[in-house]
Amino acid sequence: MLSRATMAQTTADAAHGDAVAASYRQLADVYHDLLSRDAVDDVLERLVKTVRGLIPVTSMLIAETRIEERVLVPLIAAGDWPEEFLSTTLAFGEGLIGVAAERGQPILCNEAHRDPRAGHVAGTPEGDPEAIISLPLVSGGMVIGAMSLYREGEGAEFTPFEFELACRFGDAATLALQNARTRAELRERSRRDELTGLRNRRGFNELLAATLAETRDDEAPVGLLVIDIDDFKHVNDSHGHPCGDALLRHLARVLDDATRHRDCVCRLGGDEFGIVLPHADAEQSRAVGQRIEQAVAANPLLHGDDPISVKVSTGAASTAETGADPGCLLRDADRAMYAQKRERKAPVPLRLVSDV
20-24, 105-109, 125-129: segment of lowest average pLDDT: 20-24
pLDDT tens figures, 1-19: 546 555 444 454 444 545 5
CATH 1.10.3470.10 at 22-189, yes or no: no
| C-alpha dihedral, 298 to 303 to 305 to 306, nearest 10° | -60
The residue-averaged pLDDT of 86-114 equals: 91
CATH 3.30.450.40 placement within the chain: 22-189
pLDDT tens figures, 316-333: 999 988 888 999 999 999
Is it the case that residue 310 has pLDDT exceeding 70?
A: yes
15-29, 243-257, 302-316, 328-342: segment of lowest average pLDDT: 15-29
CATH 3.30.70.270 placement within the chain: 201-345
Is it the case that residue 223 has pLDDT exceeding 80?
A: yes
Return the pLDDT at 42: 78
CATH topology of domain 201-345: Alpha-Beta Plaits (3.30.70)
- Mean pLDDT across the chain: 84
pLDDT tens figures, 120-175: 777 777 778 999 999 999 988 889 999 999 999 888 999 998 998 889 888 877 88
Going from the C-alpha of 126 to that of each of 73, 121, 129, 130, 225, the distances in angstroms are 22, 8, 9, 10, 56
d(CA 33, CA 36): 5
Is it the case that residue 258 has pLDDT exceeding 90?
A: no
Residue 112 gets which letter from DSSP?
A: G
Return the pLDDT at 32: 61
